[in-house]
Amino acid sequence: MNAAGPWVESITDQVNRKESHGIQLVKGSHIVVPKIHNDEHAYILQNEDQHIVFVLPFEEDYSIVGTTDVDYQGDPQQVAISQDEIDYLIDINNQYFKTQISQSDIVHSYSGVRPLLKDEAEDAKAVTRDYTIELSQKGHAPLVNIYGAKITTYRTLAEAAVNKLNKVFPKMKPAWTKSAASPGGDLISRESLHSQLLADYPWLPKPVLKRFIRQYGTLSYQILENCHTLEGLGEDFGHGLYQKELGYLIEKEWATSVDDVIWRRTKLGLKLSIDQKAQLSHYVAGKSDANITEKYCA
């Protein structure tokens, strides 16, 4: 299953099954700034170049502004926001909002590379967001190649990709994910889960409770299992990132580095100090996957 994103063609080259589809790499960048507005609405800003930029509430105290669409030719691992992109996002935000921002307000930025299908469009903004899934049986083993796509359609895409294997596995069971909850999403509502967790763990700090509901949903119970006091959560590495949660991320969500923890699993990198990040990095580096939380909540 070749779901390598911007590296999809390098995989087909390595297995000597070069397909006919071309991939155009398009960079998208975001900036994170202190809250621009105090409501919970998401805004879509229409720019004069016909490109739209979103301004979204982000991690309680921030707003995220993005994205850009820029042709990208380099190594996807080295992608980073450019000064032109920073200026672009600041300018369009300041055209619409009373709260004006500048580069000094940026607390974080990130960029990604989208592998889009080449078409007749000359402008990166106009390149199709559709995807193509093809089954190649030219070699010794079947190969499913996924070209294009974006994360917002990941579940539909995943189902379609597996369905491609019907030819190889004719007894394969039918798709089942359409009505299945995402991990931790088997809840009636956030409000009901909040009430339930508050009753079960009244000692849990309110900001941590709120973050757990947003981030883990009903999986919060796995983190808090057998815990009866705040002390039972172990060391606080800063802003409510306790040792018990850290153990859960390492054991259940395969975090292996400090960046996995503070950026890819949580967004606590926005709040942790340099010293806190260093302490956390040292701790994560010294741990294996085995029994990291055994001494806590037992």
Quote the pLDDT of residue 298.
45
Q: Tell me, letter by letter, the H, E, C secondary structure of 36-74.
A: CCCCCCCEEEECCCCCEEEEEEECCCEEEEECCCEECCC
Per-residue pLDDT reduced to its tens digit, 212-230 = 999 999 999 999 999 999 9
For residues 120 and 49, the answer to whether their CB atoms sit within 8 Å is no
For residues 129 and 154, the answer to whether their CB atoms sit within 8 Å is no
Average pLDDT over residues 129-154: 83
Quote the pLDDT of residue 117.
79
pTM, 2 dp: 0.84
Quote the pLDDT of residue 153.
84
**255 burial type by CB count under 10 A (0-12 exposed, 13-18 middle, 19+ buried):** buried
Quote the pLDDT of residue 121.
54
Choose between 86 and 176: higher pLDDT.
86
Quote the pLDDT of residue 68.
95
What's the pLDDT band for 124 if we cut at 50, 70, 90? Answer: low
Per-residue pLDDT reduced to its tens digit, 65-111 = 999 999 999 899 999 999 999 999 999 999 999 999 999 999 999 99
Quote the pLDDT of residue 287.
75
Say whether pLDDT at 233 is over 50: yes
Return mean pLDDT, the chain: 89
Q: Please provide residue 279's backbone torsions phi and psi, each rounded to the nearest 5 degrees.
A: -65, -45
For residues 55 and 63, the answer to whether their CB atoms sit within 8 Å is yes
User: What is the architecture, at CATH level 2, of domain 5-167?
Assistant: 2-Layer Sandwich (3.30)
Average pLDDT over residues 130-138: 84
Residue with tokens 């409501």: 39
In this predicted structure, which of 20-29, 116-125, 166-175 has the lowest mean pLDDT?
Answer: 116-125
Average pLDDT over residues 229-236: 96
Annotated domain spans of the chain: 5-167, 190-285
Quote the pLDDT of residue 291.
47
Say whether pLDDT at 296 is over 90: no
Looking at the chain, the whole-number percentage of residues with pLDDT higher than 90 is 69
For residues 49 and 124, the answer to whether their CB atoms sit within 8 Å is no
What's the pLDDT band for 167 if we cut at 50, 70, 90? Answer: confident
- Tokens in use for 41? 């609405």
Quote the pLDDT of residue 127.
58
Q: What superfamily would CATH give domain 190-285? A: Alpha-glycerophosphate oxidase, cap domain (1.10.8.870)
Say whether pLDDT at 285 is over 90: no
